[in-house]
Structure 1
Amino acid sequence: MQMEHIQARTLHARRGTLKNVFSYGVDFVLTDLEEATPRLMSRNRFNLWSLWDRHHGGARRGGQGMAWFREVLDSRGFQSEAAQLLLLTQPSFLWFHFNPVSFWIALIDGTPRAFVAEVNNTFGQRHCYFCAHEDFRTIRPADTLIAEKIMHVSPFQRVSGVYRFNFNISETKIDIRISFEDGDKGVLATLSGHRRIATDKSLMWAAARRPFGALRVLALIHWQAAKLYLKRAPFLKRQPAPTKAITVSQNLGRASE
């Protein structure tokens, strides 16, 4: 496949008595890490935009790239050689890299059969959530895959409750919904955008329209945190990192036919 540039929109809506909602544009790429890239995008070397294997797949700053995802799938009985394996992520901009979440995706016949949400927090920690049906059948948009929250992400949310994942990838669009639920509290996060071939023009436009890439995203995260702090939201200091690297979805819910 050709690398794709997903000019996406993300929305975060806080649940509970203290409300906070924001939405902003963000640039992702969808890639198998093998195809040729536009001139403004490089793999494992400096450019305006870059993808570095060390940033993905395994320990933070010690990643193994696609080899890690293939090993994760094979260890759970999924025949990775029969699938198309992709990474949906924000590329590094110049020297700067930060991804709140990336997604490793396994497709068979164009339909998603398994994915890993690779979650990073601003404290330097990483935890991954592996989601699939037990028989690796197609994950439909109406299917809800549930995993226990393990890692501290927001200082304004406890390390408890569950994530509910809804994942939709079609030939033209990506639409991901993650609902963190902890009693009557939590956060709804969505990511959606159209799939288009990445070009030098689209990458240059992204740099001009949303300058500094992931650095801008990090700044927006801290801006929203400052707003919550001023609203006197309960603040939880940094918590210990998870003792395991991957949490597997435990319960699978399906919407009514």
Structure 2
Amino acid sequence: MNRTPAARPGLYPCEIGHVRTDPVRHTLRHRTYMWLVDVDRPPALPRPLRPLAGFRAADHFTGDAPSLRAGLEGFLATHGVDLEGGRVLVLTHARVLGYVFNPLTLYWCHSPDGAPRCVVAEVHNTYGERHAYLLHPDEAGVAHVDKDFYVSPFFPVDGAYRMRLPLPADRLDLTVRLDRPGARPFTATVRGTRREATPAALLRLALRHPLSTLAVSAGIRRHGIRLYLRGLPVQPRPSHRTTEKAT
């Protein structure tokens, strides 16, 4: 894992790719943009641009914490982790014009001396549910974790993820692969290049990708319909209690 970069917010125009190989081959590619921000220092934008980038604690973890850091620390406390105020960098979609959908939000957590401590991967599905995974990547940024959360309606809750999650710097390059017994049926990638988060850069991206997270959500549903029409059976969705509230 890398050392923390400067705390200035960054914008990452990026391409998100989904590749399914089993039981049918199907590819989804979508262009959007994401933010990398210090969890304690959200961007200070001119008032007219604030509707284009909202960062709300209610959109993450249990949704009732007073701040994003408090929500993260509440989750970490259930796993016996105390960052002691260390820096946290979060890669996420911002709320745009009142709407947000975050398939994957990542938190790179550090000790007070700047040393990497852990990564939290928070996953949202299209049913309004959330789940967070505590990860301890190796020096290459790779972590493995059992799948505990229903995401795609065409995969049961089994198998394990291999996540390659290097801390973004000039480049954003993430990979999440699902491994199931005898198969590797799904791989997601996120790749992009950093831009300074200036008002002009944000305005250009917002105009290029209007309602960006709504487009992500709609794209996932559209491709889900295509897969269903191709005959993929829908897997039962188990009831879910977020692990963020576990004691």
Task: State the TM-score, normalized to the length of structure 2.
Answer: 0.85
2:95 aligned partner, one-letter code: S
Match of 1:89 in 2: 92
Deviates more, 1:177-186 or 1:85-94: 177-186
Query: For 1:168, what is the secondary structure of its paired residue?
Result: coil
- Matching residue within 8, 24, 41 for 2:14: 8
For structure 1, the residue ranges without an aligned partner over 5 or more in a row are 134-138, 248-257
Match of 1:21 in 2: 27
1:99 to partner: Cα distance? 0.8
Identity %: 26
How many residue pairs are counted as aligned between the two chains? Answer: 235
CA separation in 2, counterparts of 1:77 and 1:243?
17
Work out whether residues 78 and 244 of structure 2, in 8 Å CA contact, stay in contact via their aligned partners in 1.
Answer: no
- Matching residue within 155, 164, 182 for 2:180: 182
Q: How does 1:1-257 map to 2 (within 5 A)?
A: 1-35=7-41, 36-39=43-46, 42=50, 47-56=51-60, 58-59=61-62, 61-63=63-65, 64-73=67-76, 76=79, 78=81, 80-81=83-84, 83-107=86-110, 112-132=116-136, 139-141=138-140, 143-183=141-181, 184=183, 186-242=185-241, 244-245=243-244
For structure 2, the residue ranges without an aligned partner over 5 or more in a row are 1-6
RMSD (Å) for aligned C-alpha atoms: 2.4
CA separation in 1, counterparts of 2:125 and 2:81?
28
CA separation in 2, counterparts of 1:91 and 1:198?
13
Change (3 A) 1:243 1:100: closer
Work out whether residues 31 and 87 of structure 1, in 8 Å CA contact, stay in contact via their aligned partners in 2.
Answer: yes
1:99 aligned partner, one-letter code: N
1:74 to partner: Cα distance? 5.6
Instruction: Give the number of the structure whose residues are more often strand, by fraction.
Output: 1
Work out whether residues 30 and 216 of structure 2, in 8 Å CA contact, stay in contact via their aligned partners in 1.
Answer: no
Work out whether residues 90 and 106 of structure 2, in 8 Å CA contact, stay in contact via their aligned partners in 1.
Answer: yes
CA separation in 2, counterparts of 1:118 and 1:205?
28
Task: State the TM-score, normalized to the length of structure 1.
Answer: 0.82
1:163 aligned partner, one-letter code: Y
